[in-house]
């Protein structure tokens, strides 16, 4: 598509669609974050880390894997893990065959806190997704988002 000098593409449907996806994600994330903080005293970023660890083999990931999984810089991930470790929800473990590698592992307290938060999360999803979209719409949205997230 060739644009005229000074032309603003904001009315383009692709730009509008992308904006709508960003707006929807931001609103849902903000609202869920507020609910998790108010109900479980668990920030959304902590919830994301605990989810990643729950789904990881052996309940642990290397620090660089965690940074990639939650889309944070390595420094931001280190600070985040410091706070989670201070709350005793995760622990650091040294790798037996690579002294440079550090694992982050979920603790029993982290699993308990995640179970509590997942109950809140499911109620939130029932209210904000299941009640607003039909089964068919949710399946279609899942398929479309999966397609957009697929590697090229």
Per-residue pLDDT at 11: 76
Greater model confidence, 141 or 63: 141
d(C-alpha 68, C-alpha 77), whole Å: 9
Mean per-residue pLDDT of the chain: 89
Per-residue pLDDT at 4: 60
63-68, Cβ contacts within 8 angstroms, sequence gap of 24 or more: 63/101, 63/102, 63/103, 63/104, 66/104
SS3 110: helix
**What structural domains and CATH numbers belong to the chain?**
50-125 (1.10.10.10)
Residues 108 and 88 sit within 8 Å (Cβ to Cβ)? no
Residue 1 has pLDDT above 60, yes or no: no
pTM (predicted TM-score)? 0.82
């Amino acid at each position: 598509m060739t644009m005229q000098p000074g032309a603003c593409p904001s009315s383009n449907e692709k730009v509008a669609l992308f904006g709508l996806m960003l707006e929807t994600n931001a609103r849902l994330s903000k609202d869920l974050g507020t609910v998790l903080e108010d109900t479980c005293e668990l920030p959304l970023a902590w919830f994301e880390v605990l989810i990643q660890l729950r789904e990881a083999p052996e309940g642990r990931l290397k620090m660089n894997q965690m940074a990639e999984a939650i889309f944070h810089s390595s420094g931001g991930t280190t600070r985040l893990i410091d706070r989670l470790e201070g709350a005793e929800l995760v622990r650091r473990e040294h790798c037996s065959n690579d002294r440079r590698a550090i694992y982050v592992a979920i603790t029993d307290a982290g699993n308990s806190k995640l179970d509590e938060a997942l109950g809140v999360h499911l109620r939130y999803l029932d209210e904000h997704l299941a009640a607003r979209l039909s089964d068919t719409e949710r399946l279609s949205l899942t398929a479309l988002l999966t397609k957009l997230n697929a590697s090229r």
